[in-house]
C-alpha cells in the first residue's frame, strides 16, 4: 500500500465536496478498490469513504411500491431486509462472495464498478431499476454502457437504487468456485407488461438483455417457450473457465432454470 489522505463524510453533500478534488476517489465497500490499490493499478491521493453516510443506507419501500436500497447498503443487509419484499433480489445478495464480502461490499459499489461478472447489474437491468445519484436519476437501460463502463460522471455518487417489484422473478448463477463470481448469471423478471431477462458473466461487453427470450417469455412464461432459442457465441468471454460457446450454451440453460424456479 502507499500513503493517501482519508475522509469519512457523514452527508452526501460533504462527500460530493470532498470528491471535487481531482485526485480523490470514492470508497464504498472496497472489495474491488482495495486490491486495486495494493497492486498499484490505481493510486488516488485521497479516498472518500461513503460508509458513514446514514442517508445512503437501508432498505425501504416508497409510495410507488418500489424497493429502495441505499447505495452504501451491504449485501448482507439487502439479503436480510429484501427477503419479504423481493425474494429473488434477496437470494441474489445472499450468494455474493463469502460472508466477509457480503458484510463489507455494497450495492452501490457493485453497480458503480459494473464488473462483467458481478451479480447486481443483472438484477438492476432485469428489474428495470432506476439508479439514483446525487444529482439525477438514470434508467437501467441507459446506465450500463459496456465493460466496467457506466453513465456515471466524474464525482457522481450512487445514493440509491430503486427496484420495481415484479410479479415473479428468479436469479440463477453458475458459480466460478474460486471467486464466487458468475461464470454465467441470468436474472428473469416477469411484470404485467412483459418479461425482462438480463445476463451477466458471459459477454465481453458486460451485462446485457436477451431480447429474443424476453419476447418468447412475454407470450408464454414457461421454460418450453425457450426451446430452440440460443445466444450467439460471438462476443462471449473465453478464458480458462469456459469457451465462448460454453457460456452461450449456459445462458439458455440458466434462463430455463430461472423461469422454472420463478414459475
Q: What is the CATH number of the domain that holds 41?
A: 3.30.43.10
User: Which of 111, 116, 144, 123 has the alpha carbon at shortest distance from 201?
Assistant: 116
Tens-place pLDDT, residues 79-120: 999 999 999 999 999 999 999 999 999 999 999 999 999 999
The yes-or-no verdict on residue 2 having pLDDT over 80 is no
- The pLDDT assigned to 228 comes to 96
Instruction: Identify whether 36 is part of a domain.
Output: yes
**Residue 22 maps to a domain:** yes
Range of the domain at 5: 1-49
| Per-residue model confidence (pLDDT) at position 64 | 95
pLDDT bracket for residue 41 (50, 70, 90): low
How much of the chain is in helix, strand and coil states, percent to nearest 5?
Answer: 35, 25, 40
d(CA 244, CA 242): 7
Nearest CA-CA partner of 152 in 132, 122, 125: 132
Q: In this structure, is residue 35 part of a structural domain? A: yes
Residue 248, burial from CB neighbour count under 10 angstroms (0-12, 13-18, 19+) = buried
Give the residue, 98 or 25, on which the prediction is more confident: 98
Task: Find cell 437501508 and name the residue.
Answer: 58
For residue 182, being part of any structural domain is answered with: yes
pLDDT at position 10 over 80: yes
User: What pLDDT does 16 receive?
Assistant: 93
Q: How many domains does the chain have?
A: 2
Last residue of a domain, one of 49, 65, 83: 49
Across the chain, mean pLDDT equals 93
Kindly state whether residue 136 falls inside one of the protein's structural domains.
Answer: no
Q: Residue 156: pLDDT above 90? A: yes
- Within 10 angstroms of residue 236's Cβ, the number of other Cβ atoms is 24
With pLDDT > 70 as the criterion, what percentage of the chain qualifies? 98
Averaged pLDDT, 238-256? 96
pLDDT of 216 above 90: yes
152 assigned to some structural domain:
no
Q: What is the CATH number of the domain that holds 246?
A: 3.30.390.50
Asked whether residue 10 is domain-assigned, the answer is: yes
- Residue 178 counted as domain residue: yes
In this predicted structure, the answer to whether residue 150 has a pLDDT above a threshold of 80 is yes
How much is the CA Rg of the chain, to the nearest whole Å?
18
Which neighbouring-strand residues pair with 25? 47
The whole-number pLDDT of residue 1 equals 62
Q: Where does the pLDDT of residue 176 fall: very low under 50, low under 70, confident under 90, or very high at 90 and above? A: confident
Amino acid at each position: 500500500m502507499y500513503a493517501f489522505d482519508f475522509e469519512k463524510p457523514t452527508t452526501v453533500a460533504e462527500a460530493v465536496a470532498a470528491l471535487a478534488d481531482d485526485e480523490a476517489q470514492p470508497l464504498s465497500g472496497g472489495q474491488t478498490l482495495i486490491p486495486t490499490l495494493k497492486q498499484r493499478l490505481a493510486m488516488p491521493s485521497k479516498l472518500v469513504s461513503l460508509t458513514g453516510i446514514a442517508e445512503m443506507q437501508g432498505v425501504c419501500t416508497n409510495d410507488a411500491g418500489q424497493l429502495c436500497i441505499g447505495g452504501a447498503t451491504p449485501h448482507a443487509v439487502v439479503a436480510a431486509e429484501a427477503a419479504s419484499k423481493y425474494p429473488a433480489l434477496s437470494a441474489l445478495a445472499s450468494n455474493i462472495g463469502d460472508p466477509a464480502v457480503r458484510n463489507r461490499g455494497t450495492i452501490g459499489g457493485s453497480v458503480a464498478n459494473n464488473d462483467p461478472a458481478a451479480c447486481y447489474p443483472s438484477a438492476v437491468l432485469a428489474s428495470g431499476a432506476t439508479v439514483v445519484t446525487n444529482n439525477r436519476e438514470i434508467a437501467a437501460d441507459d446506465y450500463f454502457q459496456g465493460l466496467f463502463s457506466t453513465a456515471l460522471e466524474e464525482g457522481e455518487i450512487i445514493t440509491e437504487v430503486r427496484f420495481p417489484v415484479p410479479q415473479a422473478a428468479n436469479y440463477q448463477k453458475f458459480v466460478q468456485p474460486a471467486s464466487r463470481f458468475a461464470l454465467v448469471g441470468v436474472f428473469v423478471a416477469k411484470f404485467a407488461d412483459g418479461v425482462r431477462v438480463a445476463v451477466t458473466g458471459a459477454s465481453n461487453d458486460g451485462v446485457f438483455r436477451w431480447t429474443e427470450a424476453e419476447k418468447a417469455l412475454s407470450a408464454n412464461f414457461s421454460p418450453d417457450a425457450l426451446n430452440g432459442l440460443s445466444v450467439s457465441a460471438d462476443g462471449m468471454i473465453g478464458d480458462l473457465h469456459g469457451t465462448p460457446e460454453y457460456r452461450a450454451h449456459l445462458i439458455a440453460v440458466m434462463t430455463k432454470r430461472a423461469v422454472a424456479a420463478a414459475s
